[in-house]
């Protein structure tokens, strides 16, 4: 059996070699993402594995079907880059890796929230100008705050446990109420969460129900002292409305690990011409933190995402049911 892995990061190769040696399955790695051109490299392979946020072009589905490949395995949580109608048309089973390391992303969200709450961006700005005064930057402590989690799945649940351990009150919105999370959070409705949370942290997929969930109306419902943490998908937040909310002091700050237009410049050395205006505006604000969709990037996460993704490729190629099939 031969598998082609797209968009392989250098640190992943160690774990790929370990998995290949353990299973006896040949794996070829390429750095390029899966697109209309690179899909041709999949000819002669039994399966593929990829990670990217850029949408797959229609010809990708057609070519994979022609090559006899029966699956699309995204070694990541999100799958909004996949057109499920085309996947179904070309008989491609879709899988993802929903929980390679929920703690990795939860810890990143908490880290950024703590930086915002303690106003470290403002301190950095002052100190860059040799101003070492701390007047006006009094902050609070986490145990005094209410944290609202939108999407209490694997990552949201891990986030709840971290904040709960620090003494915060945690509330959450999710269509599924998991009894095992009851020691760490209380479920509520979205309006109540927006009106009462001091930190609103987002861990939900991007779909029709969540696209542009955070818009001008949403921000008006939040406390003007609240912080938005988006560790999910950029399309959940309307960037222009976020900028306006920050400029009008409708919310206190934001931490973003993902942007709606990140495909233009994330994961590469960008040129000044490639950087969009919304990024420039947000990046210049001392109460905004941006990371390049890197919340997942830990050794534990990489090891798990490699193994879990490849295991499902093997299962499908062998005619078995994968562990992490995505239905839509």
Q: Is residue 141 part of a domain?
A: yes
Q: Tell me, yes or no, whether 109 and 256 share the same domain.
A: yes
Nearest to 212 by CA among 241, 189, 185: 241
Q: Tell me, yes or no, whether 93 and 167 share the same domain.
A: no
CA distance 34 to 55: 9
pLDDT the model gives residue 263: 84
Q: What is the mean pLDDT of each run of 10 residues along the chain (328 residues)?
A: 96 96 98 97 98 94 98 93 96 94 95 98 97 96 98 96 98 96 97 98 94 97 98 96 98 97 89 95 97 94 95 97 92
pLDDT the model gives residue 100: 87
pLDDT the model gives residue 53: 87
> Do residues 43 and 65 lie in contact, with contact meaning Cβ atoms separated by under 8 Å?
no
pLDDT the model gives residue 268: 87
Q: Tell me, yes or no, whether 145 and 260 share the same domain.
A: yes
Threshold 0.75, pTM exceeds:
yes
pLDDT the model gives residue 327: 85
Query: What does each C-alpha distance from 145 to 148, 158, 194, 248, 252 come to in angstroms?
Result: 10, 18, 13, 23, 14
Confirm whether 233 is a catalytic residue.
Answer: yes
Q: Tell me, yes or no, whether 62 and 108 share the same domain.
A: no
Q: Is residue 324 part of a domain?
A: no
pLDDT the model gives residue 85: 96
Instruction: Tell how far CA 269 is from the center of its chain.
Output: 20
Q: Tell me, yes or no, whether 57 and 139 share the same domain.
A: no
Q: What's 262's domain CATH number?
A: 3.40.50.720
pLDDT the model gives residue 267: 83
Q: Tell me, yes or no, whether 38 and 113 share the same domain.
A: no
Q: Which of 75, 103, 115, 293 is catalytic?
A: 293
Confirm whether 32 is a catalytic residue.
Answer: no
* Range(s) of the domain holding residue 163: 102-290
Q: Is residue 327 part of a domain?
A: no
Confirm whether 250 is a catalytic residue.
Answer: no
Instruction: Tell how far CA 149 is from the center of its chain.
Output: 14
Q: Is residue 117 part of a domain?
A: yes
Q: Which of 12, 75, 154, 262 is catalytic?
A: 262
Q: Is residue 21 part of a domain?
A: yes
Give me the residues paired with residue 4 across strands: 28, 48
Q: Tell me, yes or no, whether 250 and 121 share the same domain.
A: yes
Domain count for the chain, please give it: 2
Q: Is residue 323 part of a domain?
A: no
Q: Is residue 325 part of a domain?
A: no
CA distance 22 to 293: 30
Q: Which of 75, 154, 233, 250 is catalytic?
A: 233
Q: Tell me, yes or no, whether 162 and 204 share the same domain.
A: yes
């Amino acid at each position: 059996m031969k598998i082609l892995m797209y968009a392989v990061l250098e640190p992943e190769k160690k774990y790929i070699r370990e998995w290949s040696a353990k299973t006896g399955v040949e794996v070829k790695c390429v750095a390029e993402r899966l697109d209309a051109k690179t899909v041709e490299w999949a000819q002669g392979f039994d399966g593929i594995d990829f990670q990217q946020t850029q949408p797959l072009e229609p010809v990708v589905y057609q070519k994979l079907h022609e090559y006899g490949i029966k699956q699309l395995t995204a070694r990541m949580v999100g799958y909004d880059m996949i057109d499920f109608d085309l996947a179904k048309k070309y008989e491609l089973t879709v899988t993802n890796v929903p929980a390679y390391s929920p703690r990795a992303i939860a810890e990143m969200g908490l880290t950024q929230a703590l930086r915002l709450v303690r106003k470290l961006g403002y301190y950095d700005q002052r100190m860059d100008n040799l101003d070492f005064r701390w007047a006006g930057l009094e902050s609070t402590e986490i145990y005094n705050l209410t944290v609202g989690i939108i999407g209490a799945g694997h990552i949201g649940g891990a986030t709840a446990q971290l904040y709960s351990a620090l003494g915060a009150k945690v509330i959450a919105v999710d269509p599924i109420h998991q009894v095992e999370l009851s020691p760490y959070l209380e479920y509520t409705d979205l309006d109540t969460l927006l009106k009462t949370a001091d930190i609103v942290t987002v861990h939900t997929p991007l779909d029709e129900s969540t696209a542009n969930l955070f818009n001008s109306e949403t921000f008006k419902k939040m406390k003007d002292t609240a912080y938005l943490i988006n560790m999910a998908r950029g399309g959940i937040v309307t960037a222009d409305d976020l900028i306006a909310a920050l400029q009008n002091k409708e919310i206190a700050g934001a931490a973003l690990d993902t942007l709606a237009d990140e495909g233009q410049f994330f994961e590469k050395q960008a040129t000044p011409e490639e950087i969009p205006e919304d990024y420039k505006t947000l990046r210049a604000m001392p109460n905004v933190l941006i990371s390049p969709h890197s919340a997942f990037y830990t050794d534990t996460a990489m090891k798990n995402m490699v193994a879990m993704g490849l295991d499902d490729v093997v299962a499908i190629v062998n005619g078995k049911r994968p562990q992490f099939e995505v239905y839509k």
